[in-house]
Amino acid sequence: MIMVFCEQRNGELLNVGLELIGKARELARSLDCEVSAVVCGHNVGYIGNRLIQNGADKVFVIEHELLEKYTLDLYTESLYQLISNEKPDILLLGATSIGRELGPRLAARLKTGLTADCTQLEIGQETKLLLMTRPAFGGNLMATIICPDRRPQMATIRPGIFPLPSMDANRKGETILFNPKITREDLRVRVEKIVQKIRTVKDITAEKIIVAGGRGIGSKENFELLEELAELLGGVVAGSRAAVDAGWLPKELQVGQTGKVVKPKLYIAVGISGAIQHVAGMQDSEYIIAINKDPDAPIMKIADLGIVGDWKSVVKALIKELRNE
């Protein structure tokens, strides 16, 4: 069985769980096994049907009033009890803040390994082992990791890597209620209050057009020209880590290995060299335009259209054209 932990927050499912169910379905074809989803919380049974419609054969609903708010202690214990019962072959979690916290704790309890922050999953043709690929050595190479003799084989996967599966409203499956044996005494840390962070910047992963700027832009003020271009195109501005580290953009707008993974219809990389860690976050964009003064910049190799020149004159010309001036 391939089991996917599907995270919910305030009753809202996170997309990454559905993305992983879609991927698990694909992997299950090579293993000829079923796909199960796990959702944890209080009064969250209604989510089960949605997970089945998106590809789960079985949904385990871990239900308890103490699970209403996420706590590391009780989620770990509850999941540990379920996994010890069901003994899945593979366990997948989203590499969200919660998944990144839960994954290692669970792996330690289950005495198995965990490959964190994977960007690709496959089944080995002969070994039938899960091949878990992730950036290694500061992102300079991709390592494929296996877990040969411990179960489950565990991985966390970054949100946005795999596409959302298509929903089938007629799909049938089984929803199983699981009541974990947990008590208030298992809680070593109590959550008093959850304070919602007010989102001040857009979620770039949902955008169709992105104009991204890098170190080549030169200053925070220069980003205003990129804002103007993005607005004319109906898109948003994002950037490389160099632009974020320079304080020109907030961290939420960073694209790449340690930023967001985006797949817009159009990605315009302006003054970005195309380091492997940046490319990891945008290479699946449908159409890539690179504007760079260096014809040999690595970004040119993955661009559908490369424009060699000073970014300011190119962007100004584009703005003029779009304004029909």
In the complex, the smallest distance separating the C-beta of residue 302 from ligand FAD, rounded to whole angstroms, is 13
Q: Check binding of 240 to ligand FAD (CB under 6 A).
A: yes
Nearer to ligand FAD by Cβ, of 118 and 272: the residue is 272
In the complex, the smallest distance separating the C-beta of residue 136 from ligand FAD, rounded to whole angstroms, is 10
Interface region with ligand FAD, contact rule CB under 6 A, candidates 80-88, 154-162, 220-228, 240-248: 240-248
Nearer to ligand FAD by Cβ, of 40 and 279: the residue is 279
| Burial class of 256 by CB neighbour count within 10 A (0 to 12, 13 to 18, 19+) | buried
Which residues, at least 6 apart from 51, have a Cβ–Cβ distance to it below 8 Å? 6, 13, 17, 18, 21, 37, 39, 59, 173
Q: Check binding of 271 to ligand FAD (CB under 6 A).
A: yes
Neighbours of 46 (CB within 10 A): 11
The answer to whether 48 is a known ligand-binding residue is no
Interface region with ligand FAD, contact rule CB under 6 A, candidates 36-44, 109-117, 159-167, 292-300: 292-300
Write out the two tokens for 111. Answer: 């005495």
Q: Check binding of 251 to ligand FAD (CB under 6 A).
A: no
Task: Give backbone dihedrals phi and psi of 85, rounded to 5 degrees, phi first.
Answer: -75, -45
- Three-state SS across 41-65? ECCCCCHHHHHHHCCCCEEEEEECH
Q: Check binding of 215 to ligand FAD (CB under 6 A).
A: yes
The answer to whether 277 is a known ligand-binding residue is yes
Q: Check binding of 278 to ligand FAD (CB under 6 A).
A: yes
Contact letters for ligand FAD, residues 113-132 (x by CB under 6 A): --------------------
Report yes or no: 180 and 62 within 8 Å, Cβ to Cβ: yes
Report yes or no: 216 and 271 within 8 Å, Cβ to Cβ: yes
In the complex, the smallest distance separating the C-beta of residue 216 from ligand FAD, rounded to whole angstroms, is 3
Q: Check binding of 148 to ligand FAD (CB under 6 A).
A: no
- What is the size of the binding site for ligand FAD (CB under 6 A)? 28
Residue choice 10, 138, 166, 185 for contact with ligand FAD (CB under 6 A): 138
Distance CA(120)–CA(23), nearest Å, equals 10
Write out the two tokens for 82. Answer: 């379920």
Nearer to ligand FAD by Cβ, of 58 and 241: the residue is 241
Q: Check binding of 294 to ligand FAD (CB under 6 A).
A: yes
Q: How do strand 8-9 and strand 12-13 relate by DSSP bridges?
A: antiparallel
Residue choice 23, 39, 311, 315 for contact with ligand FAD (CB under 6 A): 311
Report yes or no: 49 and 170 within 8 Å, Cβ to Cβ: no
Interface region with ligand FAD, contact rule CB under 6 A, candidates 17-25, 28-36, 73-81, 212-220: 212-220
Report yes or no: 263 and 160 within 8 Å, Cβ to Cβ: yes
Write out the two tokens for 7. Answer: 């995270």
Distance CA(4)–CA(261), nearest Å, equals 20
The answer to whether 278 is a known ligand-binding residue is yes
Q: Check binding of 257 to ligand FAD (CB under 6 A).
A: yes
Task: Give backbone dihedrals phi and psi of 299, rounded to 5 degrees, phi first.
Answer: -60, -30
Q: Check binding of 310 to ligand FAD (CB under 6 A).
A: yes
* Residues contributing to the site for ligand FAD (CB under 6 A): 138-139, 214-216, 240-243, 254-259, 271-273, 275, 277-278, 281, 292-294, 297, 310-311
Binding positions for FAD? 215, 240-241, 254-258, 271-278, 292
